[in-house]
Amino acid sequence: MHDRRRVRVFCYATTAADGSAHRAKIEREAGVFVACAAWPTQRIVERIAADGIHVLVNLNGYTKGARNEIFAARPAPVLVAFMGFAGTLGAGWCDYVVADPVVCPPWTVRSEVRARRRRRQRMAGAQGTERAQGTERAQGTERAQPPSPPPPLDFGELDPEEDAGPWVYTERMIYMPHTYFVNDHRQGFREDDELRALAPAPGDALWRAEQDARHRMRRELFPQLGDGVFIFANFNQLYKIDPSLFRLWLRILERAPSAVIWLLRFPAAGEDHLRRVAREWAGDAVAARLVFTDVAPKHMHIKRGRIADAFLDTTECNAHTTAVDILWSGTPVLTWPRHEHKLCSRVAASVVCAAVGADAGQMVVGDAEAYVDRAVRWATEATYTYEYAYPPADPAPAPALAPDAALAAAPMRGILEPDPQTGLVQHKLCGGPAMDLRFRLFMQRDQSRLFDTQRWTRNLERGLEEAWRRWVAGDDDLIEEDCDGRDDRDDCDDCDDCDLIEDDVQRRVEWSRWIEDDIAECLAKDPKAPVFAPPGRSIWVCDEDDAMPAQTWVREMLAWNKD
C-alpha cells in the first residue's frame, strides 16, 4: 500500500523461509527482498549501506532471533523501532519508536521531558534577568548582559550522572494520529458468505444476520450454556494472566452469577493450574464457570470471536493482535492501561481508541475497581429477547408473528434453521451496554480508523519522511525554544517542573495543555502541515482528515479514571 512514487521498500529477511503464505506475500510484494538469514552481520551491514537505505526499521527489538548488532553498526542514517518489541530499546543506536501518545505518553519520553524542563528553566532565567534589569534601570546601573550559552545537544546517549527524572524512553517518538498498531483485517478477514451477500442490504438486516450467526455459532461451540449466560473471553496465552488479575476475574464471576470466562488451552497444561487456583480462592461453584477450548486456526479464531459477549483484557501485558481480532469481530474489549511506563500494558487501549474514537472511555478504565465494576455491569445489565418469523420463502406469516417493518422490508436469508414443527425461525436479540458497543463496532468497522490500513500507511510515510528530512537538514538536535510571551501558558501554580508533579491528574493536565497548544500554534500557521516536529523532539503526524488528532488523546486519557 506504500506510494511507490515516494517510497521504495527493501526487506532484509534475517529469518529462514518457513513456507507460509505470509512469507510468500512479503517476498512477492516488497520492492526488493533480500534473504540474508545465513549471512554474517558484516555482510548484511555492508549490503544495507550499499543499497543506500535512508531509514532502517527494526521489526524485532529484543525478541528471539533478533539481529540488533546490525543496527548498532548504524548502516543507515535514521534507525526506527516498530512493533516487534513493546518497549524502549534503551540504546543510542535507535533514534525513533513508531508509537502513539496512548501507548507512550509524552511525559515518559526523555526528549519531551528535557524540552519541557529546559523551556521552564529558560523562562525562569529570563524572568529573573528581566527583574534584575528593571532594578538596574531604576538605579541607573544597567549593564550589558553576556550572550546566552549555546543550548546543549541531545544525541540520545545516556549520561550516568544526569538527573534522569521520570522518563523511560530514550528514543524520540513518531506519534501516529490514531494508533501505532497496523493490521489488514479489512482486506484479509471478511465475513461468512451469507453476511457478504447482505452487505448492500439495509443496516437492520445486516445486524440481524450477524446476531443470527453469533447465536448459531454459540450453540454449536457451547451447547451446554443457556442463552442467558454472559460469556466473557480472553484468548491470550495463559502466561499473561498474573495472580492479581486472576483475583479480579474471580471477583467478577462472584458478582455476576450468570457469567462465565472462556479461555484457551494455550498451553494445555495451564487449564488444571487455573482451575485448582480458582477452587482454592473462590470455591468450586466459581471455578466451574471457567470454560476452556482448544486454540483455533487464525481464520476460525477471528470468526468465533463474535461468540463472546465481551473480552476481558490482561493488564500487565495486553492483548495486541488478539485485541484487534476481537474488535474486528464486533466484540467489545474491556482494558485497563495499568502502567504509564509499560507500552505492552497500554496497547489494547490504543486500538480501542482508534476503533471508537471519543467513546473509548466506555471500554478503557483507570483502576482495578473500575475494571471489575464495568465488567459486572455489562454482564448483569445484559438482556435477551426472542422474535419469531417465517423464512423468507414461506408464505407471509400471520400478523401477530410478523417481524418489524424494517426487517420485513429486507427479509433474512436462512442463517438459522426453522423449527420443524412450527416452521418458524427463532431470532435471539440481545441488549445492554456491551451489546450497544457491539452494534457500533460491527456496523462502523469499515469506517473505523483502526482498520483503515491505507490511511495508516500514508501517515507512517509522513512520519518517516520527516525523520529523514531532519537528518538531511541537520536540525535533529534539541534546541531551546523562544519562550517570550508564553509565560501565561506555561506557568504552573503548584510546582516548578510539571514532569515532577506528584499528582498524576494535574501532571497530565499540564502536559495536555502544553502539547495541544504547541500543535495548535503550528497548525494555525500551516493548517495542512503533515507533521508537528520541533527540532530534537518527537514527531507528531497530522492526519489530513481527522476529527480526533493524536494530541487530543493526552487529554482524553484523563477521563479513564471515571466509571
Segment 266-277, tens digit of pLDDT: 999 999 999 999
> Judging by beta carbons within 10 Å of its beta carbon (0-12, 13-18, 19+), is residue 560 exposed, middle or buried?
buried
- What average pLDDT score do residues 398-402 get? 42
Say if CB 237 and CB 317 are below 8 A apart.
no
Res 298 pLDDT > 90? no
Pick from 413, 405, 477: which is nearest to 197 by CA?
413
CA distance 29 to 187: 15
Residue of 229, 241, 265 lying closest to 313 (CA atoms)? 241
pLDDT at 208 over 90: no
Quick one: three-class SS letters along 502-532?
CCHHHHHHHHHHHHHHHHHHHHHHCCCCCEE
Distance CA 265, CA 236 (A): 10
Top-ranked range on mean pLDDT: pick from 194-203, 247-256, 437-446: 247-256
Confidence of residue 165 (pLDDT cuts 50, 70, 90): low
- Per DSSP bridges, beta strands 531-532 and 539-541 are antiparallel
| pLDDT number for residue 524 | 84
3-state secondary structure of 196: helix
CA distance 194 to 529: 44
Around 381, how many Cα atoms within 13 Å sit in the side-chain half-sphere?
11
pLDDT value of residue 130: 54
Cell numbers standing for residue 55: 531509514
Strand extents, DSSP E, 63-137 = 78-81, 96-99
Q: Is the pLDDT score of 479 beyond 70?
A: no
For residue 355, pLDDT beyond 90: yes
Report, in angstroms and rounded to the nearest whole number, the Rg of the chain calculated over CA atoms.
27
**Which alpha helices (H) appear in 189-329, and where do they start and end?**
193-197, 203-221, 243-255, 270-282, 284-287, 298-304, 321-328
Mean per-residue pLDDT, 142-162:
51
Please check the confidence at residue 153 and state whether its pLDDT lies above 50. Answer: no
Region at 330 (left for phi over 0; alpha for psi -120 to 50; beta for the rest): left
Other C-beta atoms lying within 10 Å of the C-beta of residue 132: 13
Question: What is the DSSP code (8-state) at residue 124?
Answer: H
CB neighbour class for 272 (10 Å; exposed up to 12, middle 13-18, buried from 19): exposed
Residue 414 Rama label (left phi>0; alpha psi -120 to 50; beta): beta
pTM comes to 0.85
Cβ contacts of residue 188 below 8 Å, gap of 6+? none
pLDDT by residue (tens digit) across 49-101?
999 999 999 999 999 989 999 999 999 999 999 999 999 999 989 999 999 99
User: How far, CA to CA in Å, does 522 sit from each of 460, 462, 519, 530?
Assistant: 20, 16, 5, 11
Q: HSE on the CB side for 517, CA within 13 Å?
A: 11
Helix, strand and coil content of the chain, in percent to the nearest 5, comes to: 45, 10, 45
Q: Residue range 152-173: average pLDDT?
A: 67
Residue 524 main-chain phi, psi, to 5 deg: -65, -35
| pLDDT attached to residue 514 | 84
pLDDT band at 486 (very low <50, low <70, confident <90, very high): very low
Count other Cβ atoms within 10 Å, centred on residue 194: 14
Beta-strand relationship, 383-389 and 425-431: antiparallel
pLDDT tens-digit series, residues 185-201 = 877 777 666 676 665 56
